[in-house]
Structure formats: structure tokens, C-alpha cells
Structure 1
Amino acid sequence: MAYKVAVVGATGNVGREMLDILAERRFPVSEVVPLASSRSIGQEVSFGDKTLKCRHLDTYDFSDTDICLMSAGGDVSREWSPRIGAKGCVVIDNSSAFRMDPEVPLVVPEVNADAVAGFTQKYIIANPNCSTAQLVVALKPLHDAAKIQRVVVSTYQSVSGAGKEAMDELFAQTRAIFVSDAVQTKKFPKRIAFNLIPQIDVFMEDGFTKEEWKMVAETKKILDPKIKLVATCVRVPVFISHSESVNVEFERPISPEEARDILREAPGVLVIDKHEPGGYITPHEAAGEDATYVSRIRCDPTVENGLAFWCVSDNLRKGAALNAVQIAEVLLNRKLLGPKTGRA
């Protein structure tokens, strides 16, 4: 069986990655349709060895399309996802628009694949925030083994999480510094080149940012509502891959050796943990890879039953595009979605 797949936001960082991953994983497609806004109509994108021209989202008819991978931002998703779902096309949405909707599954396949079955309520499935996705992949097997009570996480998030303009700004600022030109700041509130910015998304009344709130709320929905979590999210001058420093307090004792063994067997996780210079993974090494890498696993002596570890993943892949395609694969593998009439 083959499926007709639309990709909304096909010219963006994540949209292009979605097209690449569909081709890499040989997703069974009868046709792939790249969709974009009016300013990108006719722009070419790659799908495997093919070149496709973008079509206009506003005029596209989803009635014969099986799956829509949505990566065009929250405003576009809020307007279009319910309309697309009403046509019987399953929307896998990368924005935050529907993540906390109780009628919309929020899914990371390695963690809560069973939740996918709930898509029939609105024909929408939500992708989590990129920093949440890699975190729960690492936490899930440890939670099953020793039950997590509390998590403290500090993120080191690449500029690609803020889109192509953010990547361009880091590049332009870096070049300006080297040639002694004026540094211009547009996308970020402060200079990002050779700097860190302890703010991602807007501030909320309690002093946390919305990105930090997302990590708390989404981890509870995906993994366990009883887990207590606090996050500090920081933008760093790295182009691709998010890193996280994670401290976890468990209900039961778990040693670093046990944790390593558990994580080595966990789906989607690769453990690189040697106690020597370079015996860990960095963002540069994780870029372009599918795995969530875990390193520096050790005891946290400040709490009973505590562990600390380092976690890195390509935010454009596992944090967004790969996770979306994996959700689509779950729908097919579990026979929850068949192609529409005439395309068997």
C-alpha cells in the first residue's frame, strides 16, 4: 500500500528535513506534495532524487491525501489542522498549537506509541517540543526501572530551533565579529555569536519562559503526570543539535552501571560514556544522526537515589522531522490508517 503525503512548510528547515527523512526511510508514498505560503509557490525542494515544486496551501484539496506533516508554525496549524483533519487526512503537527489539547495525542514513538490510537478524535497528532522529545526518550527506560520523582534540566539549544533566520543571524554575526563590522541583532534579544542567551520564547508571569513551561507540561503528558520537573532553557551559538544537562531523582536506587545497561537496550538511545577526554557526544557529532545520545552518567550525591547525565540530539531530526515520520510509521505498522480509495 502507498500513501499520499503532504508536507506543509516544505521550504523551512524542518519541512526540508521531513522530505529527506521520508525518502531515507523509504516511507511508502504514492505521491509527496510540498505545500507552502504564497511567497514560496513554485520554489523547488528535493525528495530523494526528485525535485518537486511547492504548491499553495490555500488552494490545495486534502480530500484525497492520507497524511499531512505540518511544520508551518502555530498560527497556520490552528487555522488549517482542524480543516485538514475534517477531510479525513491525519495531521502530524510539529507546532505547539495542539500539544496540550486533551483530545490530541502527544507522541514520541519510543515512549508512548499506544497514544497514537487517539488520533481519531480530531485526526491530529502532536509532535512535542524538540527539547522535550530527546529528554523523554532518555527518561522513559529509567522511569520504567526505578520510577522518576523529580527532574532538573538545563538545556543548551541550537539556533536552528528558532528557524532559518536564526541560523542566518548566527552566521552573519560571527562573520561581522571576525571582520570588525557592526553586529546586528534581529531574531534574538541579544547577540548570539560567542554568547549565551538564557531565554527561549516569551516570559510568563512566574518568571519561567514558555519553552521551560512546555518541557514541564509535555513531559507530564507524555511520560507521567506525577513527575516534578524544572527547566532552564538557554540558546547557545551552535547551528544544529540540542544538549541537556539532566539531574534525576528516583523512587528506588539505581546505579550508574544499571542506568548504562538499561539505556544501551533502550530504543532510540545510544550511550557514549567513557571517563576520558572526548568520551562523550557533542552537538557537532549528533548533527545529522537519528539517535538520542547519552553520556556522562554518574551519581548525583545531593539527593537520595540521584543520577546525572548529558543528553544530545539533532533537534531538526528527532526533535521534529524524524519524530513526525516515526509517528506516521506507527499509524501504518499498527494498521490504524489505510490509504484512501483507489491508491492501494
Structure 2
Amino acid sequence: MDVAPEERQVELAAVARRLFAARCPAQTVRDLEESEEGHSPGLWREMARLGWLGLSHPGSGSGVADLVALYTEMGRALVPGPHLPSAVVSAHALLAAGGRDELVAAMTEGETIVVPALAEESGEYAPDALTVRADPTGTGHRLSGTKLLVPFAHVASWLLVAAQAPEGVTLFLVDPSDCAVERLPNIAGQPLFAVTFDGVEAPAGALVGEPGRGHDLLAPALDRAAVLRSAEIAGAGEALLEITVRYAREREQFGEAIGRFQAVQYLCSDIAIDGHLTALLARQAAWALDQGRPARREVAAAKAYGSRAAQRIVHCAHEVHAGMAFMLESDVQLFTRRAKHWEFGFGTADDHDDDLVTALQDARVTAS
């Protein structure tokens, strides 16, 4: 198994790095955190023009490994935007359900944003963790309950809502203007919202796929998202390593650069090791997904390690920078705050540890 990036992925990463360096430097990241949209519509249109909103879609000639190359650069530049919720999670769930070709085409062209409304108070995605109800009305369903941490709900044309219907978890497309949408403050500075459905009517045409199949449609899309979140963490590790090594060379103490001290070298080495292993696990999981193989073990290993690496990487960077890294003027704090969001998104390390154990047990049973 060779998980080294292919030539087209190296080229994609190079193009992405140049684009994000020009369109999304650190000051732009700061400005977008304070903006109403929370992302750059101009950059979104440019990504659509480059075909990046349809990467890994059927017929695109690309796979999850190509997305890993892109997301590594997105993590490196801390690019904010609805790519992961819309172009990955929602798009792949809609494609799996079938019958939404026009909507997916509009999403690929950057004209429409569809974001998933999944998490609730528990923060989990398991079917038994969902409490938002979808009660049949004869002409459709009536949705009741609240979704939390819904990304970019304020700029979305549609919400892809997972709700408990009599048949089980079912997906619906809901117009956010029919709901109560409230912005949630968060350490990462991300546009996250609470969305409340107070008897919102979802007509028959709002149903996505068959009733009760919502989890089956979402699970593969969420696996992709977990792998890509790990790729973002790996990219952030690359950037933080460069920032930290540069500071260690420039900052002097006791008459010499602090980078000459072994303790500082160890911290920089730890950033490099965690970033490298996270990238390797993400590429391994992407390879398994692209091969169409059962990939629960690889996905779980990538996100479990990535979630923990995200915190270790920023911790080491703070150790080298000391109090300077906490200042708003420092770029390190941008990564620190985003890393906390990445740590928990699309499953915590503990969640994926449980999945990894289950996958290993299943493999053992199959082998015996």
C-alpha cells in the first residue's frame, strides 16, 4: 500500500497553497472571524471555478485522497468556509440518496450552500442521540426540536436535517428561513448556530432518501469529513512548526537563540512528529475509502489520533512561544482556538477509540 501523494495531488496542493496565501493570509482570517458571513464569498466562487466544490463526486475523476491534499492546505491557512459541511457532508449524503442532481449541481457551481443540522445536546451523531422529531402529518412531516453547532446556517440555502421519524432517522431539506436561527459564541470564532424547529412543516418533497435510512446516508459522508478534519489538523501542524521554528531561531535568551536549547528542539520535534503521523493516518484512511474497502478502522484511527494531536501541537507551540502566543497579535492563538473546534468536530478521540476497538474486534471475528 503506497499512500504517498500522487503527482496530481502534489500539484493540487501547490495551487491551493498559492491561492490561500494570496486570498486568505492571517489578517484575512482575523477579519473574517469578525465578519457577518464568516467566510469569503469571493474565495468560495473561486474554489467553485477551480472545481474544488465537486472534488471526489462521481464522475469527477478524483477521490478522497485529492480532498486530503486540498484540506491539508486549508488547515495550513486556517481557511474558513462551508466546504466541509456543504461540499462534502451534505453533497455526498444527497448523492447517496439520489434524485437531487440539480441541487448538487448548483452546490458544485457555488450557487447554493446546503449545511447539515445534526448535533444536539449530547454532541453525538449516533441515531439514538437524536431527539429532534419528525411527526407525520399526512402530507409530509412536522419537525420539532433544536439542533446545535450548525455551521454557516446563516448563509445556507437549505439545511439537511436528521430527525427521528417513526421509521427511524430520516433526512429532510428545510429552508432556514422557516426556523429560529441563533448565533452561538464559541472559542474558535466559527459561525455556529442553534436552529430551532417549532413545528416546521416539511412537505413530502423535503424528504431526502427513504424514511429511516438517514443514518446509512450520512455515515459514509461523516467518515469522509472525519478524515478531512484530520488532514486540516496535519496542515495546521505544518504551519505551526514553521512559525515555531522561526520564532526559536529569532528569540534570544541567555545570549543565544532559544532554538539551540535541547528542550526547545524536543518541542519542535514533537510538533513535526504529530503532524506527520496525522497526515499519514489521514492518507491511509483516504486510500481505503477510495478503494471502496471497509474503512472504519482507518477512519477511526485517523480522527482519534488527529483529535489528540491537535491539542499536543498547539501546546508545544505555546511552550516555545511562552506568553507571547496568547496575545491576539500572535498567529499561534488563531491555531489554538481553531484546534479546539477541530478536536471535537465529527467525533471526539474517545468516540473514535470506541469505533476502532469495535472494528478490530469485528476483524478478529471475521478472521477466525
The answer to whether TM tops 0.5 is: no
Higher relative contact order (CA 8 A, sep 6+): 1
TM-score by length of 2: 0.25
Q: Which has the larger strand fraction?
A: 1
